[in-house]
Amino acid sequence: MKTIKRIKINLSTYFVIALYIYSGYFYVFTLFFLTFLIHELGHIYFIKLFHFKIEKIDVYPFGGIIKIDKKINCEIYKDLLISSGGFIFQVIFIFISIFFIRSKVLLDINVSLILLNLIPLIPLDGSKIMFNLFSRYIPYYYSLKLLYFLNIILYIVFLIYGIKNSSLNFILATFLLIMFIKELKNKKMLINMFYLERLLGDFHYKKVKYHQKVNLKKLKREELSFFFDKKLKNEQEILRNKFDNCSNI
């Protein structure tokens, strides 16, 4: 019941539902809703498996966005499984539907939703999977910048494709672009949260890295950093000075 209270349906979603029903596609909408539900249950399963708390679920025409109470610096494999949970459940559902439901429409909807969410556009699941893969090999700051850079290119391509091929694709691309711009405004806040977690949190790091010069942009998830600043300092000392200096401004 608590989870249900945290679900918020966007106005655009009501519009799309009404359009489906008015156009006589209630059966298609029912199958889409079933697929959407299976997809979101996949995310929720892994969120609960790792004992994270769901703060809010926003329902949009392209799917749901689940806000979770978890650290940016949590284990990468957990983030990857949470982001991939929707696909995992959908693939299982596809095999079940092939043998028991045998609906081509349901199969097409499932495949379409999987392909849409695999596109690495913020806020789709594909972007979260890509970002976590970046984070495994690249420092957090540069992973974020690379993701944003690729998204700008992809949105330009997606918008051009939508203009030339389908007004529906153009509307979807425009809607997702608005979501991306909102996310882009939070870039500085996300980076500072990442730093603050490293200062205050107690994380299990798999590796230790030594750097010749102090550069917080080199901090990497699952990796503890040490810097040579006249003497060897760990990242907590550098971060403590950073936030102390900010508080004195």
Q: Burial, 165: exposed, middle or buried (Cβ in 10 Å; 0-12, 13-18, 19+)?
A: exposed
- Summarised one tens digit per residue, pLDDT across range 221-233 is 999 999 987 788 8
Q: Which two tokens stand for residue 89?
A: 């459940």
Instruction: Print the domain residue range for 3.
Output: 1-118
Q: 112 and 202 share a domain?
A: no
Domain boundary at 118, 149, 176, which? 118
- Summarised one tens digit per residue, pLDDT across range 71-124 is 999 999 999 999 999 999 999 999 988 888 788 888 898 998 899 889 898 889
The pTM of the whole model exceeds 0.75: yes
Q: 109 and 204 share a domain?
A: no
Domain boundary at 118, 150, 185, which? 118
Do residues 62 and 188 touch, judged by C-beta distance below 8 A? no
Question: Residue 123 falls within a domain, yes or no?
Answer: no
Band (pLDDT 50/70/90 cuts) for residue 1 is very low
Whether the pLDDT of residue 133 is over 90: the answer is yes
Q: 114 and 226 share a domain?
A: no
Question: Residue 96 falls within a domain, yes or no?
Answer: yes
Give the whole-angstrom CA distance, residue 202 versus residue 208: 15
Number of folded domains that form the chain:
2
What's the half-sphere exposure (Cβ side, CA atoms, 13 Å) at 59?
A: 17
**Sheet order of strands, 7-9 included:** 7-9, 53-60, 63-69
* Interval 156-161 mean pLDDT: 78
Question: Residue 91 falls within a domain, yes or no?
Answer: yes
Domain boundary at 102, 118, 134, which? 118
Do residues 87 and 37 touch, judged by C-beta distance below 8 A? no
Q: 5 and 107 share a domain?
A: yes
Give the whole-angstrom CA distance, residue 160 versus residue 154: 10
Question: Residue 54 falls within a domain, yes or no?
Answer: yes
Q: 111 and 206 share a domain?
A: no
Question: Residue 145 falls within a domain, yes or no?
Answer: no
